[in-house]
């Protein structure tokens, strides 16, 4: 059986702009090699926002060298970028933005949501690109709830939504640059989920709600990320309470990771070049 490597707790809370009160779960400054191909995770909310006519969020800023993945659980996110892409996503929807060679974007609460107010909850996950793909052209995948296959688990145990990768022969709609699985898992109290993954891959899961217990006995609580050892293929966990789990699995890239602010490359020289290119307008503007 696959063993638990460790449980990663949040690095602490901060605001991203004035719209996203996040707990940083991990970043390229701590366990990005262990988590590869995943680079960073911010867990925003859940937080109640009163109705407002203000545009809450984060204005124009660049990215290069990776993908930003926004998964909305509650509320709405509006996005625009310098390639002309944009859109609004709500609960169950996902934005999978490939920054690659570079772009500039802005991220705000949806106008309708802001007007009404309510609970805001989302994950922003950064997914690294293989060295050979870091400078490809940017692209944008808007993945709506209705496009994401949802598999009901036997015995009314819950469900698995396949955002990327494959579960029970259902393939998720996302095109990725390296092999990975990103699943939104709901598990009912008392039910368990047994998984078989590829030996050597990164395997981890974040608890958003509830509480789960690994087959080996360790308990994992909200805003905690369990990282499994790479050895072994099979493991299972059970829900102590009704739980919402984000499952992340993928083949590690095994390439150098050098990150600074919104850029993640393979060397410091490439980071310096990213700043030069951004400042000279090569990543575009909104
Ligand atoms: Mn951004």
pLDDT digits (tens, 9 = 90+) for 260-269: 999 999 999 9
For residue 119, how far is its CA from the centre of ligand 1 (angstroms)?
Answer: 21
Q: What is the mean pLDDT of residues 125-136?
A: 98
Cα dist from 13 to 9, 16, 26, 224, whole Å: 11, 10, 12, 13
For residue 106, how far is its CA from the centre of ligand 1 (angstroms)?
Answer: 7
Q: For residue range 83-116, what is the model confidence (pLDDT) as tens digits?
A: 999 999 999 999 999 999 999 999 999 999 999 9
Cα(114)–Cα(236) distance, rounded to whole angstroms? 40
Q: Which two tokens stand for residue 50?
A: 């009163």
For residue 170, how far is its CA from the centre of ligand 1 (angstroms)?
Answer: 30
Cα(105)–Cα(82) distance, rounded to whole angstroms? 6
Q: For residue range 205-233, what is the model confidence (pLDDT) as tens digits?
A: 999 999 999 999 999 999 999 999 999 99
Phi, psi of 16 (to 5 degrees): -100, 110
What integer pLDDT is reported at residue 103 of this predicted model?
98
CB distance 61 to 273 below 8 Å: no
Q: What is the pTM of this model?
A: 0.97
Q: Which contiguous run of DSSP H or E holds residue 236?
A: strand 234-250
Q: Which two tokens stand for residue 160?
A: 């698995």
Cα(172)–Cα(151) distance, rounded to whole angstroms? 11
- Which residue is it, tokens 């309510």? 118
For residue 103, how far is its CA from the centre of ligand 1 (angstroms)?
Answer: 10
What integer pLDDT is reported at residue 95 of this predicted model?
97
What integer pLDDT is reported at residue 202 of this predicted model?
98
Tabulate helix, strand, coil % of the chain (nearest 5).
10, 55, 35
Which 8-state DSSP code applies to residue 2?
Answer: P
For residue 62, how far is its CA from the centre of ligand 1 (angstroms)?
Answer: 7
Give the list of residues 6+ apart from residue 161 with CB closer than 8 angstroms, or none: 92, 148, 149, 150, 151, 183, 184, 185
Partner residues linked to 63 by β-bridges:
103
**Count of C-beta atoms within a 10 Å radius of residue 199:** 12
For residue 99, how far is its CA from the centre of ligand 1 (angstroms)?
Answer: 9
Cα dist from 130 to 35, 141, 254, 258, whole Å: 14, 18, 9, 13
């Amino acid at each position: 059986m696959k063993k638990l490597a460790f449980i990663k707790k949040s690095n602490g809370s901060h605001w991203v702009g004035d719209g996203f009160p996040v707990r940083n779960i991990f970043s390229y400054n701590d366990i990005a090699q262990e988590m590869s191909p995943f680079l960073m995770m911010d867990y925003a909310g859940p937080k109640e926002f009163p109705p407002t006519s203000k545009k809450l969020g984060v204005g124009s800023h660049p990215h290069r060298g990776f993908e930003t993945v926004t998964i909305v659980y509650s509320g709405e996110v509006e996005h625009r970028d310098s390639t002309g892409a944009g859109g609004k996503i709500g609960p169950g929807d996902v934005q999978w933005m490939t920054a690659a060679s570079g772009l500039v974007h802005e991220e705000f609460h949806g106008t309708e949501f802001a007007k009404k107010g309510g609970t805001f909850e989302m994950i922003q996950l950064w997914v690294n690109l293989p060295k050979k793909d870091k400078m490809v052209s940017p692209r944008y995948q808007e993945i709506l709830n209705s496009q994401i296959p949802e598999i009901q688990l036997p015995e009314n145990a819950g469900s698995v939504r396949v955002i990327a990768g494959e579960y029970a022969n259902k393939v998720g709609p996302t095109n990725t640059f390296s092999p990975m699985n990103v699943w939104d898992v709901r598990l009912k109290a008392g039910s368990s989920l047994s998984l078989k993954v590829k030996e050597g891959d990164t395997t981890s899961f974040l608890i958003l709600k509830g509480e789960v217990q690994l087959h080996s006995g360790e308990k994992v609580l909200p805003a905690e990320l369990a990282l499994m050892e790479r050895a072994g293929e099979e493991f299972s966990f059970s829900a102590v309470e009704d739980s919402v789990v984000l499952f992340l699995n993928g083949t590690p890239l095994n390439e150098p990771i050098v990150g600074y602010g919104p850029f993640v490359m393979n060397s410091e020289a490439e980071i310096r070049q990213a700043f030069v290119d951004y400042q000279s307008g090569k990543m575009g503007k909104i």
